[in-house]
Amino acid sequence: MVLVILIASLAGLVAYWFRPGTTTDDVDSLLRQNLSTGASEQQIYQFLDEHRIEHTRVDTAAYLSELADYPPDTPVIIATLRDVDNWPIGESDIEIYFIMTKDGRLDKWRITKYLIFL
């Protein structure tokens, strides 16, 4: 009986670890379906909150190496999807950089995936 429980538990863990994770293409597709250029900050926050995506308030691109090609005072909202690959050790996160215009409208977004190993 213990052996059966052990085998079933291991099979469940393997199935969990090997299920498909979220890709940057998945995120881009979701964004394209729900947001467009010119969206307001409120519309972006509403989308992120509805999808339970962790996010910051508007900040600037200063000190963000991912946005080094933008002026430091460029407004940006950063959103993070955590542990998108279901790995047993380590983590992979997807960050979305919502690049805003000076008047608070969405200009474009940039999506980056980070691998974090323990």
Q: In which band, very low, low, confident or very high, does the pLDDT at 17 lie, cut at 50, 70 and 90?
A: very low
pTM of the model: 0.79
Give the Cα separation of 49 and 6 in Å (integer).
Answer: 39
pLDDT at 92: 85
- CA-based torsion, 28, 18, 80, 116: positive or negative: negative
> Is residue 1 pLDDT above 50, yes or no?
yes
Can you give the pLDDT at residue 118? 60
- DSSP lists the bridge partners of residue 108 as 99
How many domains does the chain divide into? 1
Instruction: Compute the chain's Rg from CA coordinates.
Output: 18
**pLDDT at 69 (0 to 100):** 94
Which CA distances in Å does 82 have to 17, 21, 26, 44, 103?
15, 11, 14, 18, 30
Domain coverage including residue 72: 21-116
Which pLDDT score is estimated for 71?
95
Q: List pLDDT tens digits, range 24-64.
A: 899 899 999 999 999 999 999 999 999 999 999 999 999 99
12 part of a folded domain: no
Q: What percent of the chain has pLDDT over 70?
A: 79
Alpha carbons 17 and 86: distance in angstroms, whole number: 5
Residue 10 counted as domain residue: no
